[in-house]
Amino acid sequence: MSLLKVDHLSVSFVTRNGTNQAVDDVSFAVEPRQITAIIGESGSGKSVSCYAMLGLVPSPPGRIDGGSAVFQGQDLLSLSESELRAIRGRDIAMIFQDPMTCLNPFMRIGDQLIEPLTLHRGLDKKSAQARATELLDEVGIRDPQGAMRAFPHEFSGGMRQRVMIAMALINEPKLLIADEPTTALDVTIQAQILKLIADLQHKRDIGVLLISHDLAVVSDIADQIVVMEQGKVVEQGSPQAIFDNAKHPYTRKLLAAIPSGQKIADADAVAADPLIRIHQLKTWFTPNEGAEPVKAVDDVSLEIHRGEVLGLVGESGSGKSTLGRSLLRLVPLTAGQIDFDGTTLSALQGKTLKQFRHRMQMIFQDPYASLNPRMTVYDTLAEPLLQHNLVSKAGLDQAIRELMDNVGLAQAFVRKYPHEFSGGQRQRIAIGRALATRPEFIVADEPVSALDVTIQAQILDLLADLTKEYGLTMLFISHDLAVIRQIADRIAVMYHGKLVEEGPTAQVFDSPSADYTRSLLAAIPGAHAA
């Protein structure tokens, strides 16, 4: 008998523009002691399906049009809110995508773990503290007693996700729902979290429903895969059946989008004179007066050749983003020298530096945060053109429309605002803005980390095409070696602020010299997907 059986579930949202069918006649099951993964792009209905059966879809505008979700003999869709509240967190627990938005920033970790134990199990405070500390240890928190006293902001993304897993497991649920639990995490942390979920599933004998947009991520741990597209289940089966013999075109599209190729290095680019020379660069930060400095970039020397894509990899905190920002003079330098095409960039100040900036631009990780929500696409693209006097007002319209064409945005969108676009479209706007000044050098900082695998593939193809078309030199920063392998001519690896390895892409992948690089390679998800 299935632990959870969903039959013919339909969910819609009523909007001003009509009714949107978010989930359309969906059926799937989660078996005891197994992991079922629901796969699909953003908007496919996978999260809404799970939220609906737990009574977490707001009504209005959401409504359940039909179907059933039977959990241990009870149809969750027929239960009252008070009955569902008793099940949520006790029998069915959920791990959400972004732990920082789910954890109370004003409460210590210990208090947030103790609360469900006292609420659902009636434990006294001392017993609850002991249980919470034990569980933090189980999910891999190194100092569980210290963690009990800490606040969420004191933890890294991976550690916060471990806390969320501990919170989900604290009442020993029978079903664990994990909604994109590894999105935007480092590849090594991602591997750790997936392994942790799989280990806990076996140890605790629970069923797991894992939601993801990335087939590669779930390939190694799922027992069953359900593929959703536009609210419908289009295919389901074992990982072997899905990866070896996918029947639906959409499934095949998802598989094709998994980064698996290796760029053939441009010999001319690699052999070209360096556009940028970095010599013994240091960028240190002192968090508090008298405190030891954080050595974000520590004595890094590096060359970036004209026309090449240099992939910069490493975990969060390795210093890769700080290095990129240091090259663009967006953070103060502590020591060292940066030469850009014969100009000592590290010595420029004020107006001279500002005038130089049109030659170098940045694409940020989160396009929504980097775009002004009050500016239309037109205004966003016009600003750098006018700031640097690169086009007359008479030629502005034409320049903007050309930029939109180059990054694959319909000209009809020119008067829309950032919130009216998808994540992939917003990233195209950010790329267009970076290209507006016709730069020679671009720093792309995790530009695809939070995108669906298919949108990620589109953006990677776009950047590769634009690099050739514009003759760009690029520093492409990522924690994902599979992505780097596809786009980079050479790879540089950072660890704790230092450069630990550098070389052609094929060399780094085939014969890495540093232990840290080997650990990154080992953590690439999707052995079945390769």
Q: Is residue 527 part of a domain?
A: no
Tell me how crowded residue 527 is: count the other CB atoms within 10 A of its CB: 9
Beta bridge partners of 92: 88, 175
Average the pLDDT over each of 179-183, 392-396, 426-430 and give the range with the smallest value: 179-183
- Among 229, 256, 283, the domain-final residue is 256
Question: pLDDT of 23-63, one tens digit each?
Answer: 999 999 999 889 999 999 888 899 999 999 999 988 888 89
Look at residue 67 in the predicted model and tell me its pLDDT: 95
Question: pLDDT of 426-464, one tens digit each?
Answer: 888 999 999 999 999 999 998 887 678 888 888 898 899
Q: What is the distance in angstroms between the CA of the first residue and the CA of the last residue of the chain?
A: 34
E-strand spans in 222-273? 224-229, 232-237
CATH number at 198 reads 3.40.50.300
Question: Do 168 and 287 belong to one domain?
Answer: no
β-pairing, 309-313 vs 490-495, is parallel
E-strand spans in 326-464? 335-340, 343-344, 360-363, 441-445
Q: What's the average model confidence in pLDDT over 331-355? A: 93
The C-alpha atoms of residue 367 and residue 355 are separated, in whole angstroms, by: 24
The C-alpha atoms of residue 254 and residue 236 are separated, in whole angstroms, by: 14
Structural domain count of the chain: 3
Q: Which residues of 256-283 are buried (b: 16+ CB within 10 A; e: fewer)?
A: ebbbeebbebbeebeeeebbbbbeebbb
From edge to edge, which strands make up the β-sheet containing 207-212? Answer: 92-95, 175-179, 207-212, 35-39, 224-229, 232-237
- Among 221, 256, 291, the domain-final residue is 256
The C-alpha atoms of residue 50 and residue 86 are separated, in whole angstroms, by: 17
Question: Do 271 and 368 belong to one domain?
Answer: yes
Q: Is residue 85 part of a domain?
A: yes
Question: Do 200 and 335 belong to one domain?
Answer: no
Residue 370 in this model has a pLDDT that exceeds 70: yes
What are the distances in angstroms from CA 379 to CA 116, 413, 416, 432? 49, 12, 10, 12
Residue 269 in this model has a pLDDT that exceeds 60: no
The C-alpha atoms of residue 77 and residue 84 are separated, in whole angstroms, by: 9
Q: Do 216 and 43 contact (CB within 8 A), yes or no? A: no
Look at residue 288 in the predicted model and tell me its pLDDT: 74
What single DSSP character describes residue 359?
Answer: G
CA atoms within 13 A on the CB side of 97: 12
Question: Do 62 and 125 belong to one domain?
Answer: no
Q: Is residue 425 part of a domain?
A: yes
The C-alpha atoms of residue 268 and residue 308 are separated, in whole angstroms, by: 9
| Tokens matching residue 400 | 């903007």
- Percent of the chain residues past pLDDT 70, beyond the cut: 96
Question: Do 277 and 288 belong to one domain?
Answer: yes
Beta bridge partners of 177: 94, 209
Exposed, middle or buried, 71 (CB in 10 Å: 0-12/13-18/19+)?
buried
* Sign for the pseudo-dihedral over CA of 159, 114, 196, 253: negative
What single DSSP character describes residue 127?
Answer: H
The percent helix, strand, coil of the chain (3-state, each to 5) is: 40, 25, 35
Amino acid found at 500: V
Its domain, for residue 302, covers: 267-522
Question: Do 309 and 395 belong to one domain?
Answer: yes
Look at residue 96 in the predicted model and tell me its pLDDT: 81
Q: 107-115 long-range CB contacts below 8 Å, 24 or more apart?
A: 107/151, 108/148, 108/149, 108/150, 108/151, 109/136, 109/147, 109/148, 109/149, 109/150, 109/151, 109/152, 109/155, 109/163, 110/147, 110/148, 110/149, 112/163, 112/167, 113/148, 113/163, 113/166, 113/167, 113/170
- Between residues 428 and 369, which one has the greater pLDDT? 428
Q: Do 455 and 41 contact (CB within 8 A), yes or no? A: yes
Q: Is residue 124 part of a domain?
A: yes
Q: Is residue 432 part of a domain?
A: yes
Question: Do 63 and 122 belong to one domain?
Answer: no
Q: Is residue 400 part of a domain?
A: yes
Question: Do 348 and 411 belong to one domain?
Answer: yes
Q: Please report which helix (H) or strand (E) contains residue 507, including its range.
A: helix 505-510
Look at residue 236 in the predicted model and tell me its pLDDT: 95
Q: Is residue 4 part of a domain?
A: no
Look at residue 78 in the predicted model and tell me its pLDDT: 93
With a CB cutoff of 8 Å and minimum separation 6, the contacts of 291 are none
Tell me how crowded residue 203 is: count the other CB atoms within 10 A of its CB: 9
Residue 183 in this model has a pLDDT that exceeds 90: no
What are the distances in angstroms from CA 504 to CA 11, 273, 342, 387, 491? 50, 16, 24, 38, 6
Exposed, middle or buried, 153 (CB in 10 Å: 0-12/13-18/19+)?
exposed
Tell me how crowded residue 166 is: count the other CB atoms within 10 A of its CB: 26
Average the pLDDT over each of 114-123, 397-406, 456-465 and give the range with the smallest value: 114-123
Q: For the chain, give the mean pLDDT.
A: 88
What are the distances in angstroms from CA 67 to CA 27, 49, 175, 235, 351? 9, 11, 20, 19, 65
At residue 283 the predicted structure's pLDDT band, cuts being 50, 70 and 90, is: very high
Question: Do 386 and 402 belong to one domain?
Answer: yes
The C-alpha atoms of residue 263 and residue 471 are separated, in whole angstroms, by: 17
Question: Do 350 and 421 belong to one domain?
Answer: yes
Look at residue 18 in the predicted model and tell me its pLDDT: 82
Average the pLDDT over each of 193-207, 253-267, 298-312 and give the range with the smallest value: 253-267
SS3 state at 227: strand
- Percent of the chain residues past pLDDT 90, beyond the cut: 50
The C-alpha atoms of residue 452 and residue 442 are separated, in whole angstroms, by: 23
Average the pLDDT over each of 128-142, 330-344, 501-515 and give the range with the smallest value: 128-142
Question: Do 20 and 105 belong to one domain?
Answer: no
Question: Do 85 and 104 belong to one domain?
Answer: no
- Among 149, 172, 195, the domain-final residue is 172
Q: Is residue 261 part of a domain?
A: no
State the Cα torsion 464-470-476-480 to the nearest 10°.
-10
| Tokens matching residue 349 | 């100040």
What are the distances in angstroms from CA 426 to CA 166, 380, 406, 422, 465? 34, 11, 14, 6, 18
| Tokens matching residue 485 | 């392998």
The C-alpha atoms of residue 349 and residue 355 are separated, in whole angstroms, by: 10
Q: Do 349 and 342 contact (CB within 8 A), yes or no? A: no
